[in-house]
Amino acid sequence: MEILLDRLILLHAGDEKTNVSVPFSVERDFGSLEFVCAYEPKGYDDEEAAKRMIVEGARRFVPEEYRKNLEPLDQFLPSVVSLVTLSIDYNGRYLGCAHRHTPEQRHIISANFSSPGFLRQPARAGNWRAVINVHAVVGRELRYHVQVFARNGSGHE
């Protein structure tokens, strides 16, 4: 196993609805690439701030005649959460994405097997890119850690 990428990215509310490109090179062919991602915090630890976000979101997205059905706001807690997903490219070719809510994920890319959401792709030398899709950041700061491991096997043994 070889570590190809190990990056900690700090995200803030201003990064919402953006993509953070993290290019890396693979110098030789491997059997598979394993992408390990984790972010924290997932949820809001400040209940009053979460309620304010719910009210603001309702003002923006819920027609006024339906807003009265939103009380009590506690029914929406702890649904105020961060959401960050991962897309992968190889030599400019989109291989897919992991649009999942869990804050800790592991994805495999290989010729014979790739994790759900990704195309099968040999782990060849070339220009790879992890794209961090920042959908929502709650709280002051979100820490996103992405690692890429190269393996000689398919990664799905």
Convert the pLDDT of each residue in 42-67 to its tens digit: 987 677 777 777 778 778 888 888 77
129, with CB counted inside 10 A (0-12, 13-18, 19+), is middle
**In the chain, where are the structural domains located?**
2-43+81-151, 44-80
Residue 67 φ then ψ, to 5°: -65, -30
Does domain 2-43+81-151 fall under CATH 1.10.10.410? My reply is no
At residue 67, the pLDDT reads 76
The CA distance from 157 to 153, in Å, is 8
- Read off φ and ψ for residue 143, nearest 5 degrees: -105, 120
Per-residue pLDDT tens over the stretch 119-151: 999 999 999 999 999 999 988 899 999 999 999
pLDDT band, very low/low/confident/very high, at 113 (cuts 50, 70, 90): very high
